Amino acid sequence: MSVDNASPATQGTVAPTSAGTPTTPHSPSTNSPATSAAHIDPDALATQVLAGTPATSEQGLAILRTADEDLLDIVAAAGRVRRKHFGMTVKVNYLVNLKSGLCPEDCGYCSQRLGSDTEILKYSWLSTKDATRQATFGMEGGAGRVCLVASGRGPSNRDIDRVGEITKSIKDSNPQLEVCACLGFLKDNQAERLKEYGVDAYNHNLNTAESNYEEICSTHTFEQRTDTVKKAKAGGLSPCSGLIVGMGESDEQVIEAIDSLRELDSDSIPVNFLIPFEGTPMEGVHHLTPQHSMRILAAVRFMCPDKELRIAGGREMHLRTLQPLSLHVANSLFLGDYLTSEGQDAIADLDMIVDGGFSILGQEDTKALRDQILASKNAHLAAVNGAQGGTEVGVAGGAAGSGLPCAGGAAGKPGAVPAGTSAEAAAGAAPTSGGCPKSRGEVPGTPTVPVIRRRGAGTDLPPNA
């Protein structure tokens, strides 16, 4: 799933040639609303959708081609549809990367792909104890669903047992948590076995349109992906399948992929925005604007009105300051970090929810939860940085008046103080590959390059949850 453009056998990439060498993606025909603006009345479309007729492909395409100046009208109309089905709730999901890197597949967007030079954390399966602990962190941060992800082409039967045992352990400690597995291509009867263990859902993203699939991966086909989504559903698991946008696909291909998702009747649709990892064929690819990212979310909402729509990996980089607005269209997000890269600080995610007047699905008092996590984070930072005096994380997630050491972990997360940052610094840890934004010559602000995850699952450092 995604989650930083990487979910086992789910996140594709740049155009591999027949020799397996990705080529440059073709130029997108999107992102130029000013030159291809379409005329569509978003409010009338919302009325049509609310009356029971989802947007057609043509209407979805027209939404993608509206002008930037119409964006607020699009969001307002999509918000009507969102509120009908989900009110003001936000479903919070939390990723646990059970097994990282060393994948034999060549999905071009993926930092875990065959031949990737991206310096990600690489580790084999987390123990049941560690995986349960990571899931509990997510639950304490407000997550109602934990997503157990493992890199690779697909699970062996032993892997199914392993994930089943982890699921049982998580549900023993946190019975209310939903578990979604994301393990790659399923063989016959594996979905049924996961279901018996208590797994609720299965993620396997289509990522892009069938007509674009060969451009992003050479080691498997689009049809293999749809086959796994169907197997998951037939086995009694709730299908979760979504997209990665920004890989050079055309507007028509975005709509083609959304059409495929609705044909599969995916219950949850994560929309990932390409994270162009260094060391992958997608390095440096950056086609999306914040406005176009929003239009894509709106098109999904109008075409799949009652489906969980999740802002996923890359939202910080591509939606940028429009992230809070996107929650009026989407109704779900991943909390904190992604599989191999950092997300914005979890407190910033919770602030976005509280400040927008939303509530977390399954939580009685979202604001109280946010305040409690903030207080506990400040207490932790105060303890670690006591000698430096008075360090506090602001309500907006900033290191207000911070005297925090800038020694790793918070890179690319300006205004964010991840759990673990100070502990790492206090322990004298060497700066991570992320490092301080200033040390990388970046101006603090919304991240524009991926920051590799060095905390949470697979490390001894606290996660960003």
Report the interface residues with ligand SF4, using CB under 6 A.
6-11, 103, 105, 107, 110, 112-113, 151, 184
**Degrees, nearest 5: CA angle 124-141-457:** 10
Cβ nearer to ligand SF4, comparing 110 with 319: 110
Tokens of 15: 């155009």
Cβ nearer to ligand SF4, comparing 98 with 170: 98
User: Minimum CB separation from ligand SF4 for residue 202, in Å?
Assistant: 14
User: Minimum CB separation from ligand SF4 for residue 93, in Å?
Assistant: 18
Cβ nearer to ligand SF4, comparing 5 with 359: 5
User: Minimum CB separation from ligand SF4 for residue 325, in Å?
Assistant: 29
Chain-centre distance for alpha carbon 68: 25
Tokens of 249: 């696909």
User: Minimum CB separation from ligand SF4 for residue 383, in Å?
Assistant: 38
Cβ nearer to ligand SF4, comparing 111 with 432: 111
295 near 32, Cβ under 8 Å? Answer: no
Q: Which of 328, 329, 333, 359 is nearest to 346 (CA)?
A: 333
Cβ nearer to ligand SF4, comparing 105 with 256: 105
Cβ nearer to ligand SF4, comparing 33 with 154: 154
User: Minimum CB separation from ligand SF4 for residue 6, in Å?
Assistant: 4
User: Minimum CB separation from ligand SF4 for residue 236, in Å?
Assistant: 23
Q: How far apart are CA 205 and CA 208, in angstroms?
A: 8
Cβ nearer to ligand SF4, comparing 78 with 110: 110
Q: How far apart are CA 94 and CA 352, in angstroms?
A: 16
Cβ nearer to ligand SF4, comparing 151 with 421: 151
Q: How far apart are CA 336 and CA 138, in angstroms?
A: 9
User: Minimum CB separation from ligand SF4 for residue 106, in Å?
Assistant: 6
Rg (Cα) of the chain, in Å, rounded?
21
SS3 content of the chain, % helix, strand, coil (to 5): 40, 10, 50
User: Minimum CB separation from ligand SF4 for residue 242, in Å?
Assistant: 13
Cβ nearer to ligand SF4, comparing 112 with 132: 112
User: Minimum CB separation from ligand SF4 for residue 112, in Å?
Assistant: 4
Q: How far apart are CA 138 and CA 95, in angstroms?
A: 8
Cβ nearer to ligand SF4, comparing 72 with 114: 114
Half-sphere exposure for 29 (CA within 13 Å, toward CB): 10
User: Minimum CB separation from ligand SF4 for residue 218, in Å?
Assistant: 11
Beta-carbon neighbour count of residue 310 at 10 Å? 28
107 near 11, Cβ under 8 Å? Answer: yes
User: Minimum CB separation from ligand SF4 for residue 456, in Å?
Assistant: 18
Coil, helix or strand for 22? strand
Cβ nearer to ligand SF4, comparing 75 with 103: 103
347 near 368, Cβ under 8 Å? Answer: no
